[in-house]
Amino acid sequence: MSNDFRARAVEWPKGNYFEDFQEGQTFEHHWGRTINNSDNSLFTTLTLNFNPLYFNKEYAQKNGHKDIQINPLFVFNTVLGLSVEDLSEAGGPFVGVEKLVYGVPVYADDTITASSTTIDARLSESKRGFGIVSWKTIGKNQNGEIVITFERANLIMTHEFAQAVKAMQEASA
């Protein structure tokens, strides 16, 4: 038996392919994420966001919030990230986001979960071996309140195209 763990590794398929998605299919994305003040401070600082709602408690409270509000762009990125394993991890370019709506504010120690429903799946007319899949994603806090909704789309490889790519990679190795 080899001592090199890479030689013993087994490739684990990731994500879903175009044919795996049907309109109306819902995914309850696992894990969820509890957001803390450090997440918010780091994200807000790194993105050069100077809105005091996201780093000044007194300012946030004087504007009707119970505490510092979590940066909504961080909330979006977190919910999008929760959906990747089920929806787009197999690869394919990101097409875009539409109909993004924020719900109740998120505060430190809120736990965010997400679910997505397939709203459209069609073969691409211009990109052979890919389909365009669209989903509506909903993020909720621990109380079941909606914190964000949006629709997004990705180009997703077909099984046949993915197999052809894998065969070419193995042949060239």
CATH of the domain at 122: 3.10.129.10
36, part of any domain: yes
d(CA 115, CA 21): 15
Our count of domains for the chain comes to 1
Domain that holds residue 167: 21-172
- Tell me, what's the pLDDT at 90? 84
Does the residue 122 lie in any domain?
yes
pLDDT in tens, 149-170: 999 999 999 999 888 888 888 8
In a domain, 13, yes or no: no
Q: What is the pLDDT of residue 15?
A: 83
Residue that the structure tokens 């401070």 belong to: 41
Taking CA atoms, 42 is separated from 14, 38, 66, 71, 109, in Å, by 30, 6, 21, 10, 15
User: Does position 23 have pLDDT exceeding 70, yes or no?
Assistant: yes
Among 80, 114, 110, CA closest to 94:
80
pLDDT at 1: 58
Indicate if the pLDDT at residue 2 is higher than 70.
no
The structure tokens listed for 119 are 């709203």
Chain segment 103-146, per-residue pLDDT in tens:
999 999 999 999 999 999 999 999 999 999 999 999 999 999 99
Whole-angstrom Cα distance, residue 116 to residue 82? 10
pTM: 0.88
pLDDT in tens, 25-71: 999 998 899 999 999 999 999 999 999 999 999 999 999 999 999 99
In a domain, 2, yes or no: no
Give a yes or no: residue 10 inside a domain: no
DSSP of 11-42, one letter per residue?
Answer: ----S--GGG--TT-EEEEEEEEE--HHHHHH
Residues 18-30 have a mean pLDDT of 96
173 pLDDT more than 80? no
